[in-house]
């Protein structure tokens, strides 16, 4: 099962050295299989990326930054979906955020590596949860789906596994 840690500056800080220290602690404690460097507003993001470039990370949204630090995995937002095919052709492994069944259909036709589908559970500020029933239904037809949104307890991870998703992604679970 994929265990996808997503960083957030409110938990990992915006200071490059402290960020790395906190991330390494989370990795030792929770053993994620994948890590996304996600920080939409940090002016120090390039410095942080340089401090963790030796780790196997996925860069969120910024394919130029990914290329600059030698990473070939990129996680796009649903609004960036039109870029997916071109980035795949350029040699990137593309992951995508999806929030609707339509997003999932487009992701499949774009042949992205994985899709985070969210929010599955309640997550502050993320709208109405899609729920496990929707995840289960989508997992039947799309095998590369990762549950995201409100995943904070092991019981939720077990429920996601029973829904036959490829894995789960979380910010708060890995803290």
Tell me the per-residue pLDDT of 141-169, one tens digit each, with 9 for 90 and over.
Answer: 899 999 999 999 999 999 999 999 999 99
Tell me what pLDDT residue 109 has: 87
Residues of the domain holding 120: 2-174
pLDDT tier at 130, thresholds 50, 70, 90:
very high
Residues of the chain above pLDDT 90, percent: 79
Specify whether the CB–CB gap between 3 and 34 falls below 8 A.
Answer: yes
Report the candidate in 95, 100, 90 with the shortest Cα–Cα distance to residue 110.
95
Q: How many domains does the chain have?
A: 1
What is the mean pLDDT of the segment spanning 101-130? Answer: 92
Residues of the chain above pLDDT 70, percent: 100
pLDDT at 40 over 80: no
Q: Tell me the two tokens of residue 114.
A: 């994985």
164 CB-near residues (< 8 Å, 6+ apart): 136, 139, 140
Cα separation values, 75 from 13, 18, 81, 110, Å: 21, 23, 10, 14
117: domain CATH number? 3.20.20.70
| Average pLDDT of the chain to the nearest whole number | 94
Specify whether the CB–CB gap between 4 and 146 falls below 8 A.
Answer: yes
pLDDT tier at 98, thresholds 50, 70, 90:
very high
């Amino acid at each position: 099962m994929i265990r996808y840690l997503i960083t957030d500056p409110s938990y990992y800080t915006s200071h490059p050295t402290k960020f790395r220290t906190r991330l390494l602690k989370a990795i030792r404690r929770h053993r994620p299989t994948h890590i996304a460097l996600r920080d939409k507003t940090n002016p120090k993001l390039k410095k942080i990326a340089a401090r963790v470039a030796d780790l196997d990370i996925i860069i969120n949204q910024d394919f130029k930054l990914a290329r600059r630090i030698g990473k070939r995995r990129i996680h796009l937002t649903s609004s960036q979906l039109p870029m997916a095919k071109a980035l795949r052709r350029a040699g990137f492994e593309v992951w995508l955020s999806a929030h609707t069944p339509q997003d999932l259909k487009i992701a499949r036709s774009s042949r992205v590596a994985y899709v985070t589908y969210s929010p599955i559970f309640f997550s502050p500020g993320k709208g109405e949860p899609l729920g496990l029933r929707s995840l289960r239904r989508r997992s039947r037809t799309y095998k590369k789906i990762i549950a995201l949104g409100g995943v904070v307890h092991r019981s939720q991870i077990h429920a996601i596994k029973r829904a036959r998703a490829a894995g789960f992604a979380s910010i708060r679970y890995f803290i």
